[in-house]
Amino acid sequence: MINRLLLLKNYDKFSLLVLLLSAFPILPYVFRSILLITLAVLTIIHVFKTSDNTGNFNKTLLITILPFLILMLSLSYTEDINKGIQRLIQMMAFFVLPFVFYFNRHLITLKLIDWSLNIFAVSVVALVLYQCVYCLYFNEIIFSEPSQLELKNLNLLNSNNLNENAINQIKLRRFRKFVTEITDTHTTYQGIWIIFTIAVLFKNILKRKSAVLKSLSVFFSIILITWLFIISARGPLIGLILASIASFILYKKGQINLKIITGLLISLILVFSLGYKAIPGFKLKVDEVLNTKLELPTSGNDIYNFNSTNVRYGIYYCSIEVIKKNVFLGVGIGDLQKELNSCFHNTIGAKVYFWRDFNTHNQFLFFFASAGILGVISFIFSIFASIYFAITWKDSLFLFFILSVLIVFLTENVLSRSDGVIFYSFFNSLMLFKTAFKINDSN
């Protein structure tokens, strides 16, 4: 009887903290940190007070946290230890959340998972609606013609290159900067939150019986997809398309035929085409990728010729150069940015790389350059372990989550910021360790 009361008491604390953390898209960074620390402390107390029988789950936990442990080992040969420690602290949720959910897996219930997903979805919808209202109120500032200062900063003040595309480019940068500043969240992270919210809403459409809830889910899904195109989050959009196809096939396993696949592909292509035609900013981003040659940004005065695509070419070029010189161990997590900057400044020399630091913009390159071949292999293995479990358990939502994030990993260091590392570690751990009581959800 006493043990049951203790379990109930621990469940109440744990579930409350988890549900509060589920709203992290709208929580201040300091509040997120307090919740993480509290969960970690309570988990440590729980581990010391109970003789937890870990069983076969030990391997899963080790696979999940191994990439972080290897990054920690890289501190032993990095020169800038302070920088390395700072980076590891920023990524701490990558270790803490798997630890928390694993040792509290006996408290994870379907109800808790469902509430966590819905609280997260409501938070993301609220964040998007807030931005929509804010942007409508300040629309004259956001969409006004380029100022003299903006033209001067891009060397376009007396240029013949001031055409419609150049003007749209300035407006898009201004808009993305504006929404990033009012939310303190980069559009890419908003993008991955949005596509997972769309998946959660779609799940509600399939499972809920209430016509009102179904209608609201459809309505907010349309708003989220529209906003996704407006902020021109290309990586998340690609993730939405590819992960949707894969998770749909898993969901309808045994019922898929060529007609269904063709219909799904046509629907996705039509949505993509509509966004391309109707939203100038998204069209601009797509055209940028199609028109930019595989050339690095120049080191001359024609700084207006840089764009996010050729800047990324330079980033990937330097990341690979760093890896080629340090294949086995990497340069250490504390020295990575210094090595990248050295290549940016001394090898490429384009002015854009002097304005701020650029990371590898690829999570796999980050682990490879920081911790060598062991670092990247452990990271890849942890991802494919989650994919394996999602397919084995026929959990289409888990599969959608891991595949969509995997695609964004190819173009962003998702785990380098609180917005990304909490998102990935929270939901990956929650859905991975929910099977302690064999809580599998085929939807």
To the nearest 10 degrees (0 to 180), the angle between helices 418-432 and 93-103 is 20
pLDDT tens-digit readout, 66-91: 999 999 999 999 999 999 999 999 99
Contacts of 315 (CB under 8 A, 6+ apart): 340, 358, 359, 360, 361
Contacts of 54 (CB under 8 A, 6+ apart): 61, 102
Token pair listed for 159 = 């240029």
Q: 28 by DSSP, 3-state: which?
A: coil
Give the 3-state secondary structure of 231-262: CCCHHHHHHHHHHHHHHHHHHCCCCCCHHHHH
What values do phi and psi take at 362, rounded to 5?
A: -165, 120
Residue 443 lies in a domain: no
CA pair distance 102, 104, nearest whole angstrom: 5
Looking at residue 300, what DSSP letter applies? S
pLDDT at 415: 96
pLDDT at 443: 45
Look up tokens 């494919």; give the residue. Answer: 384
Could you tell me the pTM of the whole model?
0.90
Contacts of 289 (CB under 8 A, 6+ apart): 234, 309
CA pair distance 347, 336, nearest whole angstrom: 16
Residue 295 lies in a domain: yes
CA pair distance 123, 196, nearest whole angstrom: 12
Q: Determine whether 273 is exposed, middle or buried from the number of CB atoms within 10 Å of its CB (0-12, 13-18, 19+).
A: exposed
To the nearest 10 degrees (0 to 180), the angle between helices 308-325 and 336-343 is 120
Token pair listed for 38 = 């509290």
Phi-psi region of 245 (alpha: psi -120 to 50; beta: other; left: phi over 0): alpha
Token pair listed for 370 = 């920081």
Confidence of residue 437 (pLDDT cuts 50, 70, 90): very low
Residue 134's domain comprises: 2-437
Using CA atoms, how far residue 147 sits from 151, 181, 228, in Å, is: 6, 19, 27
Residue 442 lies in a domain: no
**Is 423 a residue whose pLDDT tops 60?**
yes
pLDDT at 29: 94
CA pair distance 198, 97, nearest whole angstrom: 24
**Is 379 a residue whose pLDDT tops 50?**
yes
pLDDT tens-digit readout, 255-308: 666 666 677 777 777 877 887 777 766 777 777 777 766 677 766 545 546 677
Position with higher pLDDT, 270 vs 50: 270
CA pair distance 176, 171, nearest whole angstrom: 9
How many structural domains comprise the chain?
A: 1
pLDDT at 249: 80
Q: What is the mean pLDDT of residues 223-237?
A: 90
pLDDT tens-digit readout, 325-334: 999 999 999 9
Confidence of residue 5 (pLDDT cuts 50, 70, 90): very low
Letter string b/e over residues 89-113, b meaning 16 or more CB atoms within 10 A of that residue's CB = eebbbbbbbbbbbbbbbbbbeeebb
**Ordered alpha helix ranges (H), 23-92:** 29-49, 57-73, 81-90
Q: What is the mean pLDDT of residues 386-405?
A: 93
